[in-house]
Amino acid sequence: MSRTEANSQQTHATACILCSRNCGISITTEGDRFTKIKGDKAHPMTEGYICQKAARLEHYQEHADRLSHPLKRQADGSHQPISWDQALTEIAEQLLSIRDQHGGDAFAFVGGGGQGNHLGGAYGQQLRLAMKSRYVYSALAQEKTQDFWVNGRLFGDQRCHITEDVEHSDYVLFIGCNPFQSHGIPNARDTLKELKKDPSRTMVVVDPRRSETAKMADVHLQVKPGTDAFLMSSILAIIVQEGLHDQAFLNQHCTGFSALEQELLAIPVEDYVRQTDLALEQVQQVARGFAQAERGCVRIDLGIQQTLNTTLNSYLEKMLYVVTGNFGRQGVNNLHSFLIPLLGNSDERAEAKGKHIQRTAHHKMIPIAGLYPPNILPDEIEHSGDDRIRAVWVDSANPLMTYADTPAYERAFSKLELLVVVDVAYTETARLAHYVLPAASQFEKFEATGFNLEFPKNFFHLRHPINKPYAECLPEPEIYTRLLEKMKLIPTRFPILERIAKNEPELTSYQVYLASLMATLKLNKQWMRYAPSILYRTLGAALPNDSAAAAVLLPLAIQYASKHSEAVQRAGISGNKVTLGPNLFRKILASKSGMVMSQHRYEDVWSLIKNKDGKIHLAIEEMLSDLSALKTNTPAASDRPFILMAGERRSYNANQIYRDPKWRKVDKDGSLRMHPEDAQQLMVDSGDSVIVQSDRGELSVVVEVDDSVRTGMVTLPHGYGMQYDGDERQGPAVNLLTAADHCDPFSKVPYHKYVPVTLLKQVS
């Protein structure tokens, strides 16, 4: 790959794109090359904090798999470069033909934004609407939809989302998460250090592995994998049985506690704790400590989400803070506001009242938060009915590596009539596609994350481009807008809107422009769903610094400011009913290092609840019956002696975003962590190879003897196994081992943390 070699040095404010924290960074460039990466002190949230992964971002920006041109698959399976015009013309024709012959249900949109690129997603969703499809399959529906479903029932809307004020808490329960490596909380390592060094604050970690976070904890509950439902229900039972719950809070803010209480009082605590392999006294100590803490806070993640009882786990972890009244204050759990709407709300109970809920053709799966689960997609493509999925559009995802059951994905995707991939890299999924469209990288376009998950102060960061798009790469807003134009769904010109925007875009705070936009859409209702592209082409063209992609943020900022006007004003943005939203938008455009968009008060949490009575509804029938069924619920017996945690976060993995293995300073093999006693029994040592066999497949991996894992448990990282630059797979491709049907029967979230495996010593 050749790059311009200018030697002018420049420093730019942007953000890291490797995890949901999106820490502010500053990148120094020489020509197109990144020569120095540091934390950006001016970022209002992260204030200069970064982890070791961000310093390697040049490996994302420039590598052998970077796409440079649109590609079309040839009869022999190879890919040849074609022009954008040819690619989009042909794709448009094929999409329309599939839609007209088979209807919208024949199309599915997969992905739509990774760890930092959600602005493009706002434009991508137009294509799904153009296809009249409701199918969005997203990575969120292989980790978090069970959680969104529980939120919907508790708070009245699946878009109500929990945040955790670990920084100000004096008793934190980290359950099934390892923030030292995976982050997920602000400036994780600093926050953990603060917690550790303050003797008046307590940190409890529930994890079958003595993780980097567990090593810093006051109490480590080294639970048996997959038994968290027993542990959390025991903790709740102890709290209720000892009368340590917050009755005043429950009376004032919740309904349905007595039904839950009844279940909890019936729990045989000693039996349940025995199943978790923990000491009863230790569990009692944590239950009492947490219940009596002034500010208790719970942070959870995949360790309880991608495992047995995942939906019940989501309910129970929320009950931990609700039952103890640790909600709606500083240092506890809270709800928060979103600027970019990442989630939808889809309450399946509406079906009983005659409302149409789009169930999938084969599995009859409901959407949760508007999303469908990757674990069922291969079946929805391969099943024999006329209503199967025939065309898939993948954007910002690599399902062939990251979704469960790689062979099922390979098989199903190769049967599609049309597979299009939009990515910056020639991924394993791209290799199967009929067309591959090269996206500008996240440092070559305006981008933003919708992971603005904080409370009471919430942030937004519109990142400005650093480099020009590489070769023929285009930003997603341009790709989708051109495609809609090719599909003849929108015209290429909007003369009146263009004129108004060009002459005086900001006339009375965009009111004149917006009124004309509304009038245009009213006259042409068929364009309503394409408002993002119309904004992009018209207002966008008039925005400063070529920031057209940000045009879609104007209506979102107006909406946000009207919903949370006082919070926006408290963040230092002034304005009245008409001007506040536009002023917020202007500040977003002008703040290269990110900005505070709202400063809520704690009591605002109650207005973020969507139940009409403003209360939290605890009696979720399905959850109470799952809780009751735990008594007879034991994991299905397996004759495989080990439980594999398939997809651990370590110092050198970052989903599938870095492809060049050179980015890794350590752990190049992505080794299998195994307890010394298990290694001794198998007669293997660090550096030896073993075969890992699951019910789905097998992999050859390198062993690392490590006493941080429990006996009987082994771990492999995710984010390995790519075929970089056409080479052999580098490290374990974990999803060769995970089966599509090894998942929660309700939400279809995979049990990646609980894969029964057999290990065989490999004799060389």
Give contact residues for ligand SF4 (rule: CB under 6 A).
16, 18-19, 21-23, 50-51, 53-54, 183
Answer for which of 115, 191, 234, 671 binds ligand MGD (CB under 6 A) is 115
x/- string (CB under 6 A) for ligand MGD, residues 379-418? Answer: ----------------xxxx---x----------------
- Amino acid sitting at position 241: Q
Residue 470 and residue 343: Cα distance in Å, rounded?
31
* Tokens 């602005």 belong to residue: 119
Nearer to ligand SF4 among residue 22 and residue 324 (C-beta): 22
CB of 50 to ligand SF4, least distance (A): 4
Over the window 187 to 206, marking each residue x when it contacts ligand MGD by CB under 6 A and - when it does not, the resulting string is -------------------x
Adjacent-strand bridge partners of 26: 13, 38
Q: Using the minimum distance from each CB to ligand SF4, give the nearer residue, 58 or 626.
A: 58
Closer to ligand SF4 by Cβ: residue 186 or 540: 186
Instruction: Evaluate whether 374 touches 404 at the Cβ level (below 8 Å).
Output: yes
Out of 24, 226, 328, 378, point to the residue binding ligand MGD (CB under 6 A): 226
In the list 176, 328, 331, 756, the residue contacting ligand MGD (rule: CB under 6 A) is 176
Please count the other Cβ atoms lying within 10 Å of the Cβ belonging to residue 612: 7
Cβ atoms within 10 Å of 16's Cβ, excluding its own: 26
**Which own/partner pairs from 424-428 qualify as long-range (CB within 8 Å, at least 24 positions apart)?**
424/60, 424/66, 424/67, 424/473, 425/63, 425/65, 425/66, 425/67, 425/659, 426/65, 426/66, 426/67, 427/65, 427/398, 427/400, 427/401, 427/656, 427/659, 427/722, 428/398, 428/400, 428/401, 428/722, 428/723
Q: Which of 427, 442, 439 is CA-nearest to residue 473? A: 439
**Token pair belonging to 507:** 């006339």
Is residue 324 a contact residue for ligand MGD (CB under 6 A)?
no
Q: Give 52 or 80: the residue with its C-beta nearer to ligand SF4.
A: 52
Choose the one of ligand MGD, ligand SF4, none that binds residue 333, judging by a C-beta under 5 to 8 angstroms depending on kind: none
State the binding partner of 228 from ligand MGD, ligand SF4, none, CB within 5 to 8 A by kind: ligand MGD
Residue 184 binds: one of ligand MGD, ligand SF4, none (C-beta under 5 to 8 A by kind): ligand MGD
DSSP label at 12?
Answer: E
CB of 496 to ligand MGD, least distance (A): 32
β-partners of residue 162 are 335
Residue placing its CB nearer to ligand MGD in the complex, 213 or 569: 213
Q: Residue 95 — left, alpha, or beta (φ > 0 → left; ψ -120 to 50 → alpha)?
A: alpha
| Residues 43/36, Cβ–Cβ less than 8 Å | no
311 scored as a contact of ligand MGD (CB under 6 A): no
Residue in 40, 105, 157, 228 binding ligand MGD, rule: CB under 6 A: 228
Q: Identify whether the C-beta of residue 233 lies closer than 8 Å to the C-beta of residue 630.
A: yes
| Contacts with 290 (C-beta within 8 Å, 6 or more apart), sequence order | 171, 173, 204, 235, 239, 296, 320, 324
Tokens 């989630």 correspond to: 343
Q: Output 138 or 202, the one with its CB closest to ligand MGD.
A: 138
The distance of closest approach from Cβ of residue 622 to ligand MGD in the complex, given in angstroms and rounded to an integer, is 22
CB of 3 to ligand SF4, least distance (A): 24
Count Cβ neighbours within 10 Å for each residue of 274-295 and write b for 16 or more, e otherwise: ebbbbeeeebbebbebbbebeb
- If one asks whether residue 158 binds ligand MGD (CB under 6 A), the answer comes out as no
Contact between 178 and ligand MGD per CB under 6 A: yes
Q: Which is nearer to ligand MGD, 56 or 183 (CB)?
A: 183
Q: Report if residue 150 touches ligand MGD, rule: CB under 6 A.
A: no
Contact 400, 428 (CB under 8 A): yes
CB of 354 to ligand MGD, least distance (A): 35
User: Which listed option, ligand SF4, ligand MGD, none, makes contact with residue 162 (CB within 5 to 8 Å by class)?
Assistant: none
Asked if residue 275 binds ligand MGD (CB under 6 A), the reply is no
Identify which range of 346-354, 423-431, 526-534, 607-615 contacts ligand MGD by CB under 6 A. Answer: 423-431
User: Closest approach of Cβ 417 to ligand SF4, in Å?
Assistant: 38
- Residue 316 CB, shortest distance to ligand MGD, in Å, is 12
Among 145, 158, 169, 181, binds ligand MGD (CB under 6 A): 181
Residue 237: name the closest of 257, 262, 273, 265 by CA. Answer: 265
- Own/partner contacts of 601-608, CB < 8 Å, gap of 24 or more, are 601/456, 601/567, 601/570, 602/328, 602/329, 602/330, 602/334, 602/456, 603/328, 604/456, 604/564, 604/567, 605/327, 605/328, 605/334, 605/335, 605/455, 606/253, 606/328, 608/155, 608/160, 608/335, 608/336, 608/337
Quote the CA–CA distance of 122 and 549 in Å, as a whole number: 10
Q: Does 721 bind ligand MGD (CB under 6 A)?
A: no
Select the binding partner of residue 337 from ligand SF4, ligand MGD, none (C-beta < 5 to 8 A, by kind).
none
Among 16, 223, 229, 553, which residue interacts with ligand MGD (rule: CB under 6 A)? 223
| Closest residue to bound ligand MGD by CB | 647
Closer residue to ligand MGD in complex, CB, 302/323: 302
- Could you say which of ligand MGD, ligand SF4, none residue 223 binds, taking C-beta under 5 to 8 angstroms by partner kind? ligand MGD
What's the rounded Cα separation, in Å, for the pair 233 and 287?
10
Residues that bind ligand MGD (CB under 6 A): 19, 111, 114-115, 117, 139, 143, 175-178, 181-184, 206-209, 211, 223, 225-226, 228, 301-304, 307, 395-398, 402, 422-425, 427, 439, 441-442, 645-650, 653-657, 718-719, 734-735, 738, 752-753
